[in-house]
A = this chain, B = another copy of it.
Amino acid sequence: MNEFDNFNVERTETGIASLSIESESAMNSLNDGMTEELLWLGTELNEDDDVRCIVLRGSDGVFCAGGNITSFDEDSSAPAQLRRGASFLNNVVYQLKRGETPIVTGIDGPAVGAGFALALLGDITLVHEEAYLQYGYPGVGLTGDGSATYFLPHLVGLQEAKRIALLNERIPADEAAEIGLVTEVADDESFDDRLEELATSLATGPTKALGAVSRQLEEAYARQLSEQLADEAEQIATAATTDDYAEGVSAFKEKREPDFVGY
């Protein structure tokens, strides 16, 4: 895998690909190069059967401060600039999510605006006790992109979602975990270990089934019961074609732990 200008990428023998945001712009903010690199990384890693969990985290006490507002146009070129940037980021998010490799985000510092959106991409999300999340966009008169308006209400319900987005307050780590915006909080000492533990837990699972379930749980909301049931029969039949299914059933019959390979 190549070197990147905005990410430090590490891969483990256990199938974890860890992307640390080390942005060239201030406060780990998004820039065009970073979005391009994330598209490249997301598509490559999702096609690689050896990658069984993607970890996305920040660096130096900042997860991601969002768009690089100092570069935003203030004149009539702004709508086109914003549409271009949002549509590109949105494609990155879609490819990252719909590749179906499980994702863990390690929110190791402030996550604001587009950084808030990236933080919520994790199937499992760990937040550092001193980090916070903030919706951010209304602070500059904007709405949201990068799936910020999609995952927020699904995670915490409509009441909390509106409070978080419309009042635009900082959500401390403890509160984020309490309302279900993130999965867990960890203190400074345990953060890295717990992040690896969660990633390993997913990376040793039946990757195809986990990826499919993650997608199904998201898609369930916009489907009526009959539609979701039809999808369940499709997905379970597909899962039954994998080596991991055969291994799971064998292990069950032999009363031992399964050893999943990810396909």
Q: Which residues of chain A in 92-150 are interfacial with respect to chain B, using CB atoms and an 8 Å cutoff?
A: 93-94, 97-98, 102, 123-125, 137-150
Could you give, for residues 200-220 of chain A, a 1 whenever the CB lies within 8 Å of some chain B CB and a 0 otherwise? 011001101110111011111
| Whole-angstrom CA separation of A127 from B238 in the bound complex | 33
Q: Is B150 touching A153 in the complex (CB atoms < 8 A)?
A: no
Q: Which residues of B contact A246 (CB under 8 A)?
A: 74-75, 78, 141
Q: Does A11 contact B (CB under 8 A)?
A: no
Is the beta-carbon distance between B154 and A220 smaller than 8 angstroms? yes
Which chain B residues lie closer than 8 Å to A138 at the CB level? Answer: 205-206, 209-210, 213
Inter-chain contacts of A218 with B (CB < 8 A): 153, 158, 225
User: Would B236 and A83 count as touching, CB distance under 8 A?
Assistant: yes
Which of B144, B220, B248 is A141 in contact with, Cβ under 8 Å?
Answer: B248
Give, as a whole number of angstroms, the nearest-CB distance from A147 to chain B. 6
How many residues of chain A have a CB within 8 Å of chain B? Answer: 107
How far does the alpha carbon of A75 sit from the alpha carbon of B82 in the complex, in Å? 52
A168-222, CB < 8 A from B? 168, 180-183, 201-202, 205-206, 208-210, 212-214, 216-222
Residues of the B chain whose Cβ atoms lie less than 8 Å from the Cβ of A227: 222
| Most-contacted residue by chain B among A90, A154, A237 (CB, 10 A) | A237
Given contacts A228-B150, A232-B148, contact A253 B70 (CB under 8 A): yes
With both chains docked as a complex, state the minimum distance between the C-beta of A85 and any C-beta of chain B, in angstroms.
8
Pairwise interchain contact A240-B139, C-beta atoms closer than 8 A: no
Q: Are B180 and A249 neighbours in the complex by a CB distance under 8 Å? A: no
* 27 residue pairs from A and B, CB less than 8 Å apart: A69-B249, A72-B249, A74-B245, A74-B249, A78-B246, A79-B238, A83-B240, A86-B232, A90-B230, A137-B209, A140-B248, A141-B208, A141-B239, A141-B244, A141-B246, A142-B239, A143-B209, A147-B228, A149-B213, A150-B223, A154-B221, A155-B158, A163-B183, A166-B213, A219-B224, A221-B222, A222-B222
